Structure 1
Amino acid sequence: MTRTPVALPHSFLDRPIAHRALHDVTDGRPENSRAAIRAAMDAGYGIEIDLQMSRDGQAMVFHDFHLGRLTDENGPIRQRDAAALASIPLKGGDEGVPDFAEVLSLVDGRVPLLVELKDQHGAMGPHDGVMEQAVARALQNYSGDVAVMSFNPHSVAAFGRFNDTVPLGLTTEAFRQKDNPLLPAATRRRLRDIPDYDQVGASFISHDVNDLKNPAVTKLKARGVPVLCWTVKSPAQEKTAREIADNITFERYLA
């Protein structure tokens, strides 16, 4: 059964959204870190974060499937328990990987929080629902503005089965082969047309800033669907993006 869409709060449209929070490792603020989250809140920005799963079923605020780029450890994040991940320092900072529940307590409704569920299997296929259920459980008593999205429509739909009050969105792009080398061509062709929007009960999309003229985006915008975009990296790019997008997710400058 299709989930009834929940409207995206206006707070996601009235201020820029800091991509992976307001990160800057030169200032001790790694991406998706508590320090970057505090900086974004202090500046009044919305915040976008990413969630991966720990071995013991906890949602962790971390972008990559592997630990190597963002920490001095190696291997998949899913092979470590939450307590172990909390003790692994993020490069460029002095803190470990935060869990989602802690970040919710830190934000506490001060600014809107855009949550991306990362694809756990790399193929945009069905999920077992463990991460989605963990995220829904963490959000159960959260009263601030929050929205959940994913590139994987199966993940969005799975979360929607555990929570019927949080707005859902699809993270979307052109799904070019060079950017998604593991995805079959048929899957890439299908996803670029955003065919799952209504089926998953979505109420917004967040689309690649370099593909905003995609006809699928044009059709959704004509329906009044809020269009966010990722990732804007300069004032000039922001100016162009806002000709189409209702709001931006940004990094590397202050929007």
Structure 2
Amino acid sequence: MRSSPFALPDRLIATPAEKRVAFLRGRSFAHRGLHGAGVIENSRAAFRAAIAVGHGIECDVQAAQGGEAFVFHDDTLDRLTGESGALADRAAATLDTVALSGTDEMLPRLTEMLALVSGRVPLLIEVKAGHGGIGPLCVSVRRALEGYRGPVAVMSFNPEVGRWFADHAPRLTRGLVVSEQGKPRLRGTAERWLSLWRARPDFLAYDVRDLPSRFAARARRRDMPVLTWTVRDAAAEARATAHADAPIYERP
């Protein structure tokens, strides 16, 4: 097999830390908690449901005004609450009073979710940060994780998030979220390699629609775990089993 021109810098810059990633392999992770059937995503109830069946949890964090990390997927409140507008425009104390639609639960802070999980199952935290100022949210996540005892990793589409944690919390397991959807072949390939080198991830979280993928397969040959999202049906489950190390799933 011909050696890729990217192989040498790949080995030098992005070599994974095997001990940090062992907990990722052979697990199932509930996407935004085990939600559905009246249980809302990224809620305390969804987390408790995943813990009850012993599955890992994937969740998202967004920054309130000032950077405080809240467990919430969207950058606006409209879809999942009775409020509207950007989450980042609300102070943390205000968000503490905003209820998730159809529930008595208020928007949870990351610190609350960590206390709820308390190391009982593995946890993946996707840092929802654009390419602007990522510092306040990353600082909030790092502070929330200080003293946390349990298997946990952070991940993001934004390679600057991975780089931030590589520089400021190097012992924390970190991942790069990847999708090849809508990206021209040459440009997409270059973008993925540059993101890998910049983020220095310990694992990849890959779009299941892109599997099998040469990029993901190369990572696995280097013993870098590849998780895959979002597995929702039997066909996706088969791809995940064949081409990844763990699924991030939603039940039908």
TM-score, normalising length: structure 1: 0.86
Matches within 5 A, 1:1-255: 5-7=16-18, 8-24=20-36, 26-27=37-38, 29-119=39-129, 121=130, 125=131, 127-176=133-182, 189=188, 193-253=192-252
Counterpart amino acid of residue 146 in structure 1: V
How far does residue 6 in structure 1 lie from its aligned partner after superposition? 3.7
Moved over 6 A (4+): 185-188
- Kept in 1: contact 2:64–2:70 (CA 8 A): yes
- Residue ranges of structure 2 left out of the alignment (5+ in a row): 1-12
Counterpart amino acid of residue 88 in structure 2: R
TM-score, normalising length: structure 2: 0.87
- Aligned equivalents of 2:58, 2:122: Cα separation in 1: 9
How far does residue 10 in structure 1 lie from its aligned partner after superposition? 2.8
- Aligned equivalents of 2:190, 2:23: Cα separation in 1: 28
Give CA-to-partner distance per residue, 1:137-188, whole Å, 9 cap, x none: 11111111001110000111112222121111100011416xxxxxxx8996
How far does residue 240 in structure 1 lie from its aligned partner after superposition? 2.5
Counterpart amino acid of residue 22 in structure 2: H
- Residue ranges of structure 1 left out of the alignment (5+ in a row): 178-184
Give CA-to-partner distance per residue, 1:95-124, whole Å, 9 cap, x none: 0110001111110100000010012x3xxx
- Kept in 2: contact 1:176–1:188 (CA 8 A): no
How far does residue 235 in structure 1 lie from its aligned partner after superposition? 3.0
- Aligned equivalents of 2:210, 2:237: Cα separation in 1: 14
Q: Which residue of 2 aligns with 1:182?
A: none
Counterpart amino acid of residue 106 in structure 2: G
- Aligned equivalents of 1:4, 1:165: Cα separation in 2: 14
- Kept in 2: contact 1:175–1:191 (CA 8 A): no
State the superposition RMSD in angstroms.
2.3
- Aligned equivalents of 1:102, 1:143: Cα separation in 2: 14
How many pairs does the alignment contain? 240
Find the residue that maps to 1:240 and give its secondary structure. Answer: helix
Residues 81 and 6 (structure 1), Cα distance of their counterparts in 2 relative to 1, 3 Å cut: farther
* Residue range with higher mean Cα deviation, 212-221 or 64-73: 212-221
- Kept in 1: contact 2:211–2:239 (CA 8 A): no
- Aligned equivalents of 2:137, 2:58: Cα separation in 1: 18
